[in-house]
Amino acid sequence: METFRGMKTLGVLGAGRLGTVLARFAVSAGLRVLVARSGDPAPIAHRMRSIGATAMSTAAVIEESDAVVLALPLGSLQTLPADALRGKLVIDAMNYWWASDGIRDDLSDPRTSTSELVQAHLGGARVVKALSHMGYQDLEDEARPPGAPGRKAIAIAGDDSHDIDVVSQLVDALGFDPVHAGPLSAGIMLEPGAEAFGADVDAGQLRDMLAGFWESQRGIIVRRARAHSQR
């Protein structure tokens, strides 16, 4: 039986704290979950089995999954196999952190969102930004069933309405209210420096943060950079 519009198997690339939390929640939501790390999957096999997921190679995870979550350092973007991910729904949960990614002007340019960089590298994939702006610990603590008082929200940015719908259903099943932020370019409103980044709030509060982005300090910087580039 289909779980979310044809999604039966969710792949997670990245077995760190975020990847593990998302894998565990997805298992609880009834999905078959496959997880890959960089290199041999054997070191994470026991840990994944303990949460109901399966450790596999990156190639196998991509091949067998209906959608793939990127829970990796953004600096490893160029190592992602674009050909293997062609045609896949890819959920970008990555962020640029200078402490782990190094000082990278190409990853911190305010004229574009990092998810647009992901889409540019994965030209044949369908990239949706989601599960990236709330810290893994808040994700772990705040998941609640639909309709529960105080349920928190996760924003989603993407260009395809069907993919947005699928990811929204996934976010809901994981324990959060989905909020559509806009097209993939709107993912910049969910990145470090934006008010929504790190926000542990409900859907109404999150929508207010997104609506006020362009008047915020980060929004003004982005707007000026983009205006300058168009001259």
- Say if CB 177 and CB 163 are below 8 A apart: no
Asked whether 54 and 11 are in contact (CB, 8 A), the reply is no
Cα separation, 61 vs 9, whole angstroms: 9
Q: Give the global pTM.
A: 0.94
Question: pLDDT tens digit string along 6-33?
Answer: 799 999 999 999 999 999 999 999 999 9
With residues binned 3-state (H G I as helix, E B as strand, rest as coil), the percentages for the chain, rounded to 5, are: 45, 15, 40
The string of DSSP codes covering 90-126 is EEE-----HHHH-S-GGGS-TTS-HHHHHHHHTTTSE
pLDDT band at 228 (very low <50, low <70, confident <90, very high): confident
| Buried residues in 205-231 as b, exposed as e (16+ CB within 10 A) | ebbebbeebeebebbeebeeeeeeeee
